[in-house]
Structure 1
Amino acid sequence: MSDRGYTYKSSGINTHGNHYCARDYGNNSNSYHYSNRDGSYYYSNPNGSTYYNNGQGGSTYTSPSGAKYSSGYGSSSGGSRGSSK
């Protein structure tokens, strides 16, 4: 563990030219993120939530319980997106 509360597991640039970084928070809690060349990025957080931004104004947050919240993609239905039972 470092003074930051996590240690780096790995980081670098993959074969597609996208940056990635993985961290270990201890107690089996890990996180990682990707920053892609097209401007999109993705975060997987230690609490189990995720966040994706497509780099063009659209984003999706998924809570630790699995509920999804999207914005910026536009919608013809006007309702919430992606609810599952």
Structure 2
Amino acid sequence: MPTNNQGGSYTHTGSGTNSQGNHWCSRDYGSGASNPNSYHYSNSNGSYYYSNPSGSTYYNNGQGGSTYNASSGNGGKK
């Protein structure tokens, strides 16, 4: 079973490419994760989005702008 950066394990639950050429991948981190059903998108326009097992999210617009939202609801633009 693969492991994540924090040493936890996950099960790959799906991946693919939609009709717009955007790639997605989903993982199940189990009941111990704040967000067990995590996923990410890599879009054809260069942007990407992560929904992390900690409950945080990260979006990069592919043009130098990004937004991170911590699991506590605090967020900020970078």
TM over 0.5: yes
- Tell whether 2:18 aligns with 1:14: yes
Name structure 1 gaps, 5 residues minimum: 72-85
- Tell whether 2:52 aligns with 1:48: no
Flag the structure with larger Rg.
1
TM-score by length of 2: 0.84
Residue of structure 2 equivalent to 1:34: 41
Identify the structure with bigger relative contact order (alpha carbons < 8 Å, sequence gap 6+): 2
| Superposition deviation, residue 3 in structure 1 | 4.1
Matched residue count: 70
Name structure 2 gaps, 5 residues minimum: 4-8
Runs of 4+ in structure 1 over 6 Å off: none
* RMSD between aligned residues: 1.2
Secondary structure in 2 matching 1:26:
coil
TM-score by length of 1: 0.77
| Superposition deviation, residue 66 in structure 1 | 0.9
Q: Distance in 1 between matches of 2:68 and 2:12?
A: 24
